[in-house]
Amino acid sequence: MYDPVSPDDGKRILVDRLWPRGMKKEAARIDEWLKDIAPSDALRKWYAHDPGKWAEFRDRYRRELDKKIQPLEHLREEAQQGKVTLLFAAKDTEHNNAVVLKNILEA
């Protein structure tokens, strides 16, 4: 969310449940906000962006996604139609829910 918008982004989809702190909606330039595909509040709070919990977070989030069939299928359809940029608010670009979603979409 905090990187500059690029014409190469394609469709910009926010995949977090909460709006990013300090980001004005006008500046975000998102095309869609898929709150329902984000990790549950319980999982998000448990993880607390602790890289030491990354492997377990990834497994738990994948299990949650097994029950989020419609939002995940919608995201797959968007990715099949063209380029999609998954937006997230975490400062850690390697350990966040968008990374898990990207890996699922690429599989």
In this prediction the pTM is 0.92
Q: Does any domain span residue 1?
A: no
Q: What total number of domains does the chain contain?
A: 1
Beta bridge partners of 12: 85
Residues spanned by the domain of 33: 7-106
Residue 43 in any domain: the answer is: yes
* Distance from C-alpha of 25 to C-alpha of 48, rounded to nearest angstrom: 24
Q: Is the pLDDT of residue 107 over 90?
A: no
97 within domain boundaries = yes
pLDDT, one tens digit per residue, over 43-61 is 999 999 999 999 999 999 9
